[in-house]
A and B are shown apart, each in its own frame.
Chain A
């Protein structure tokens, strides 16, 4: 250990430096909250301190956070959660009976009748049962076993947990995980963190971001040269791309997974966010079982859902679950052990999930309001999806695939060569340069496409369609103006 005296005070290296740090951590990046967001926060601070800028607020269209963008929570859900938090409210006549009934049921299932108690690591049993029933109903009666349901802290927690089980091996035998490009950067971050090999398969931008089996095959055979591919991840509806895969596509993917002996991870958190006509959400589980026992008895799969998206948008509660299919029973025992280390998912999130899978029924007092609110949110999103695609496609230099589902648009931008050169000069990836300029000049925070992955030589950005319609129109207008004058500046 060398010690150098500096100004008479002995100076010694730290234990934890960039060199001694877990090298996997260095590879972890999460663009959704990366440098551009840090710059946005900086600008907001400056605005607060009275700095003069060409805009009065920063519009954070970078993260899929509905409530932060003004979406209202579902009244019924919040009523039940309030009742669970402070059960004395069960005596308050202002709360509807159906909310009270659900709160009582949830509290009954909690240790000490309190949401402050730890729950079982796999999640509160009656909630898992409710989730199973919800899945059965959604999938036209295909049975779901509550033992295969694991409640989690948002979907992210469950996704990482499964990856932990799957990643092993050294060198050429190291687990390879197939993920779509573009992808939601939780996947690339988790794979970097776990030291797994990321195997990219490209979605087809010219065909509405569809998934081609030939591309899957190409990616897989190339990967076999240097790793052991074991997992195939698919996000449907897609993030950032917003495509909703056809039923045929889902069948093809399942068939491919079976042929190539891959574990399927189906990220379905946007399953209620489907807008385009002719598009429909097909759950992987349903399709799997409809393909018959040859598939449903053999293909190993985990599908994920969350309370952060859809029409609830309750990101902060951290509610979610995964359903595992055909998992080896001994592995399940290890899975239970693994999730027990983090004790349990947040109980309020579990309670919220219970309400999502067990919403007011037509014969209940809260039904009308609930349906009104739900419909309002989803139809607003559908309208904004349409509007976004329409307006972006009128801007020279921007092309935008239909936003069939989810909450984002991922348009392609054509950058003049001079802009690309300028970016390189500044040591920035071209779409980061573009987004930084947009942020500085218009106060709009988007995430550069490079954060999600894209074909070499193409540039994109991801924008959420969450701001309220009037504000969204302004944002679209500003981006259009920016695009025009940016192109001119670098022509």
Chain B
């Protein structure tokens, strides 16, 4: 189902770049520019960076700015503080885990690669092979990371009809399916979801923790979009907190690794290019922690600017600080997420599209109901039906989206994924609606 080798990985991306080049060279197309809503990169989508964060970073990078009256006082003070923590002044290898956040009873390590969480768990030489339960749909990098490490990805299907809910019965079925194939050791959960925009309820989180505890699975929880929740009556519940609130025996025994990143919305700023994040490890064997530490140390450190950005974003300007007003103004995207609702409503109203409400995360993953004619045409061209749709959408509508097959989906269903950036949503809706109506007519 995750057909990584079969079809050309990245073909759409290459075509999108080609078209962008052609447009730059003045080739005439039905649109003046390509709208790139494929990745979760809001800067690329036109979002403005947070001034405060960038000012501090600039002053850290070029310390003479600390004396510049052009920068607000709180910026200069913070830069000085951050530099004080860097032994050589931001050019140096930070002591791994020197910037400690939320330290309490957990261990915090900076991560900068999707693979790191899996490495200690996955034993390439094991027989039977190690397995990791992964949601369908899921972001495609995860599958690659796991298979690259010689392990088996065991799919569990989220229930689209129930708003992409995670059902324990389905987890059980997935576990059963692994019998004789591999030895599952971990359960990977994404909350809020990617690509599907669900936010797990407290009840669901507790069920999953209980399941993991019963079946002795290591919990790996991707919580990158925790700051991006907008569904009505939705609330982000961190697995770490839930585990601790469950009390013994869970709180002392459930092994958990949860991840966050500056790329995906920390108090609204998204700085994908800085490459920083962190993982919190709960209830890990202290003997194993020693080795995890070594693994991190040989990768030198995660980029220092990213670490500084991370630190700034967990401790933003407060009321009374010179930078506070501007910070709040430009601030978090999720201030007014009315537009996400609009995106959902409009797309859902198009015949041939259906989509559960988008509760959180950065993407929408609506279902495409393609006609047999369209599916047939796709087959003729040797393309997956949703890739065919996305290709036409790119060529004719100038919108770059991701085809559902790349993320996994139930056989016979099709989806597309696009990010719900505020900067582009109006144009996205206009072009998508127009293209879609034409497409459905062509293949009716």
Chain A residues near B (Cβ < 8 Å): 1, 9-10, 12, 14-18, 20-26, 28-30, 32-34, 41, 63, 65-71, 73, 78-79, 81-83, 85-89, 92, 94, 110-112, 114-119, 153-154, 156-157, 164, 185-186, 189-190, 193, 195, 308, 313-318, 336-338, 340-349
Collect the chain B residues with CB atoms within 8 Å of residue A17's CB. Answer: 285, 287-288
Taken residue by residue from 182 to 209, chain B's Cβ proximity to chain A (1 for < 8 Å, 0 otherwise) reads as 0001100000000000000000000000
Point out the residues of chain A lying under 8 angstroms from B314, CB to CB: none
Determine if B120 and A25 form an interchain contact, defined as CB atoms under 8 angstroms apart.
Answer: yes
Q: 26 A-B Cβ contacts within 8 A? A: A14-B253, A15-B216, A16-B255, A20-B123, A25-B292, A33-B96, A41-B95, A66-B88, A66-B92, A67-B88, A79-B62, A82-B58, A83-B58, A111-B44, A112-B41, A116-B269, A116-B272, A118-B41, A156-B300, A316-B86, A316-B94, A340-B141, A341-B114, A343-B272, A347-B275, A348-B61
- Closest chain B residue to A345, Cβ basis: B275
Asked if B294 contacts A81 (CB within 8 A), the reply is: no
The docked-state distance in angstroms from the alpha carbon of A41 to that of B178 is: 45
Q: Tell me if B107 counts as interface (CB < 8 A to partner A).
A: no
Q: Mark B279-305, 1 if CB is under 8 A from A, else 0.
A: 000011101100110110111111111
Q: Is the CB of A112 within 8 A of B120?
A: no
- Complex alpha-carbon distance, A90 and B122, angstroms: 48
Contact for B57 among A1, A29, A86, CB less than 8 A = A86
| Minimum distance in angstroms from B279 CB to a CB of chain A | 14
B348 at the interface (CB under 8 A from A): no
B249 touches A9 (CB 8 A): yes
* In contact, B88 and A21 (Cβ under 8 angstroms): no
Complex CA distance for A129 and B125, rounded to whole angstroms: 41
**Residues B38-75 near A (CB distance < 8 A):** 39, 41-47, 49, 51, 54-55, 57-59, 61-63, 65, 68, 70
Residues of chain B within 8 A (CB-CB) of A345 are: 275
Asked if B248 lies at the interface with its beta carbon under 8 angstroms from chain A, I say yes
Q: Is B148 an interface residue (CB 8 A)?
A: yes
Query: In the complex the two chains form, is A316's CB within 8 Å of B144's CB?
Result: no
**B26 located at the interface, meaning its Cβ lies under 8 Å from any Cβ of chain A in the complex:** no
A68 surroundings in chain B (CB, below 8 A): 87-88, 92-93
On chain A, the residues within 8 Å of B121 by CB distance are 16, 21-22
Give the distance in Å from the alpha carbon of A156 to the alpha carbon of B216 in the complex. Answer: 35
The B286-335 residues at the A interface (CB cut-off 8 A) are 287-288, 291-292, 294-295, 297-306
Residues of chain B contacted by A67 (CB below 8 angstroms): 87-92
Closest to A87 in B: B54
Please determine whether A346 and B249 come into contact, CB atoms closer than 8 angstroms: no
Contacts A342-B113, A346-B274; is A85 near B57 (CB within 8 Å)? Answer: yes
Query: Once the chains are docked, how many angstroms separate the CA of A26 from the CA of B285?
Result: 14
A94 to B57 Cα, complex, angstroms: 18
**Cα(A28)–Cα(B294), bound, Å:** 7
User: Does residue B218 face the partner (Cβ distance < 8 Å to A)?
Assistant: yes
Give Cα A153–Cα B306 distance, bound, in whole angstroms: 13
- Closest Cβ–Cβ distance, residue A366 to chain B (whole Å): 13
Residues of the B chain whose Cβ atoms lie less than 8 Å from the Cβ of A32: 297
Interface contacts beyond A68-B92, A314-B91: sample of 20 additional A-B pairs, CB < 8 Å, sorted by A: A17-B288, A18-B285, A20-B123, A22-B119, A25-B292, A30-B294, A34-B294, A66-B91, A67-B92, A78-B61, A78-B62, A82-B58, A85-B54, A86-B57, A116-B49, A164-B148, A186-B298, A316-B94, A340-B141, A346-B273
Most buried by B among A1, A63, A88: A88
With A16-B255, A316-B94: A28-B291 Cβ-Cβ less than 8 Å: yes
Nearest chain A CB to B431's CB is how many angstroms away?
19
Is the pair A12, B253 in contact by a Cβ cutoff of 8 Å? yes
Beta-carbon nearest neighbor of A114 in chain B: B43
- When the two chains form their complex, are residues B272 and A16 in contact, meaning their CB atoms are under 8 A apart? no
Q: Known: A67-B92, A68-B87. Is A316-B303 also a contact (CB below 8 A)?
A: yes
Give bound CA distance, A116 to B298, whole Å: 26
The residues of B that contact A112 with a CB separation of less than 8 Å are: 41-47
Partner of A21, one of B94, B274, B288: B288
Taking a contact as CB atoms under 8 Å apart, the answer to whether A119 and B273 are in contact is yes
Evaluate whether A85 and B61 lie within 8 angstroms (CB atoms) in the complex, with A20-B185, A70-B88, A115-B273 already known: yes
In the complex where A10-B249, A25-B119, A346-B275 touch, is A63 in contact with B93 (Cβ < 8 A)? yes
Chain B interface residue count, CB cutoff 8 Å, equals 87
Contacts of B269 in A (CB 8 A): 116
Would you give the shortest CB distance from A353 to chain B, in whole angstroms? Answer: 13
Alpha-carbon gap, A195 to B269, bound state (A): 39
A347 in complex: contacting residue of B59, B61, B253, B273, CB < 8 Å: B273
* B369 interfacial contact with A, CB 8 Å: no
Q: Is the CB of B61 within 8 A of A29?
A: no
Q: Does B235 contact A (CB under 8 A)?
A: no
- Decide yes or no: A342 and B114 within 8 Å by CB, A67-B89, A313-B91 being known contacts: yes
- Whether A117 contacts B288 by the Cβ 8 Å rule is no
Q: Are B145 and A341 in contact (CB under 8 A)?
A: yes
Chain A neighbourhood of B295, CB < 8 A: 25, 28, 193
By Cβ-Cβ distance, the 9 closest A-B pairs, closest first, are A67-B88, A111-B44, A347-B273, A316-B304, A82-B62, A117-B43, A86-B58, A67-B91, A116-B271
How distant is B98 from chain A, measured CB to nearest CB, in Å?
10
Q: A47 to B106: give the CA distance in the assembly, Å.
A: 26
A71 to chain B, nearest CB (A): 8
Set of chain A residues within 8 Å of B124, measured between Cβ atoms: 22, 24, 195
Residues of A within 8 A of B122 (CB): 22
Contact check: which of A28, A316, A342 meets B90 at CB < 8 Å?
A316
Known interface pairs A81-B61, A82-B62, A316-B303. Does A22 touch B93 (Cβ–Cβ under 8 Å)?
no
Contact with A along B20-41 (1 / 0, CB 8 A): 0000000000000000100101
Are B299 and A156 interface neighbours, CB within 8 A?
Answer: yes
Interface centre among A29, A114, A190, A342, by most chain B C-beta atoms within 10 angstroms, is A114
Beta-carbon contact of A116 and B274 below 8 Å: yes
| B9 & A337 in contact (Cβ 8 Å cutoff) | yes
Please indicate the chain A residues that have their CB under 8 angstroms from the CB of B291 in the complex. 18, 21, 25-26, 28
Say yes or no: is B270 at the interface (Cβ < 8 Å to chain A): yes
Q: B123's contact among A23, A66, A314, by CB below 8 Å, is which? A: A23
Please name the residue on chain B nearest to A26 by beta carbon: B291
Query: Which of B9, B68, B303 makes the CB contact (< 8 A) with A346?
Result: B303
Q: A373 to B357: give the CA distance in the assembly, Å.
A: 58
B39 A118 Cβ-Cβ under 8 A: yes
In the assembled complex, B112 has its CB within 8 A of some CB on chain A: yes
Which residue of the partner chain B has the closest CB to A86?
A: B58
A185 to B94, CA, bound (A): 19
CB closest residue in chain A, given B291: A25
Question: For the complex, what is the distance from the CA of A109 to the CA of B68, rounded to whole Å?
Answer: 28
CB nearest to A192 among chain B residues: B298
Pairwise interchain contact B273-A317, C-beta atoms closer than 8 A: no
